[in-house]
Amino acid sequence: MKGLLLIFFTLSTSLASQVGSLAERAPIKLLTEVQEFMQEGRYDRAEKQLKSASLSDPHVLRLLVELTQREGRRDEAQSYSRRLLSLYQSGQLNTSEDIGQAAYAAWQLSLWQDANRIFIEAAQVQPVSVSLFVDWGNLYLKKYNAAEAELIFRDGIQAMGQPTSEFFRWGVDAAYVGLAQALRGQFRPGATEALAKALDLNPNNLQAYAFKTSLAIEDKNWQEAQEWIEKGLKKNKLFLPLLELECAYEYFRGEVQAFEKLQQRVLKINPNDGDLFETLGDLANRKRLLEEAAEFYREALQ
């Protein structure tokens, strides 16, 4: 995928109306409400709303994948992922955004090569969706290829036209958060500036809060880390990335009892939360605590 061409386009209303998918659609109002419920941590309400909608809508299926994964319900998450991927395989998804959702489903099924191939296909459909670049870049971050992820996030930022539908999973602020993560992963400058841009575009981006927290923990700036944790959890007290970082905050301060208590809270939400140990491993690695990092990574793989 090296040398992915930057995609420039002009999105017009007429073009957007000509490009569509055959899959049945849930009302935009419902999807927007679900998105708000998830942002606020009202996950049960979000899932109830989604299950009242069409399970042929790729957005509905995508959100159900996220909700079930969040609680470690792997079988359900895989079932929804397979259903979403089957919409693509049967030719029902034609827009950039929808094909990108199918690529995400392939990723969740550990079909890495298929996911990458489908992402490439989605990026060639006009008008192109910023959302797919965010998911695609996150795939490469998950595979510890920060250099490739950086290129993809930059392509997403370059594709800053209007989204291909009224509802879309990610915006350009999420692409800036991804870019910040990719730059940090390469120990390159610019992460702080990218993160500032993300928060300028969306002051409520909780992934940006989580990244700010991670940076503060790495620098042993405990007060700043605590402030970002508290600020984020006020918006969504069940946001797992921040709860995981709260565990890391206590662990690296040497507060063993507080760490163990918070760890149990996270694992109660998701007994299969490998991301908790991956987060701890990444921070330990950046702090050059290599033996601890290796142990956390082993835990993440179990």
pLDDT greater than 50 at residue 11: no
Other beta carbons within 10 Å of 117: 14
Average pLDDT for 15-41 = 73
Q: 229-246 pLDDT, tens per residue? A: 999 999 999 999 999 999
Q: What is the pLDDT of residue 15?
A: 33
Is the predicted pLDDT of residue 26 greater than 90, yes or no?
no
* Predicted pLDDT at 27: 81
Peptide bond preceding 127: is omega within 30 degrees of 0, i.e. cis?
yes
Q: Which pLDDT tens digit goes with each residue over 168-225?
A: 556 899 999 999 999 999 999 999 999 999 999 999 999 999 999 999 999 999 999 9
pLDDT > 70 fraction of the chain, expressed in percent and rounded: 89
Mean pLDDT of the chain: 89
The pLDDT assigned to 18 comes to 35
> What is the three-class DSSP state of 100?
helix
Q: Which amino acid is at 27?
A: P
The CA–CA distances, whole Å, from 194 to 87, 157, 232, 279 equal: 35, 11, 19, 21
- In this prediction, residue 257 has a pLDDT band, given cuts at 50, 70 and 90, of very high
Identify the pLDDT of residue 25. 80
How high is the pLDDT of residue 17? 32
**Per-residue pLDDT at 170:** 66
Torsion of CA 132, 138, 144, 150, to 10 degrees: 70
DSSP 124: T
Domains and CATH numbers, the chain: 23-121 (1.25.40.10), 127-203 (1.25.40), 205-302 (1.25.40.10)
pLDDT, residue 168, reads 58
Confidence of residue 14 (pLDDT cuts 50, 70, 90): very low
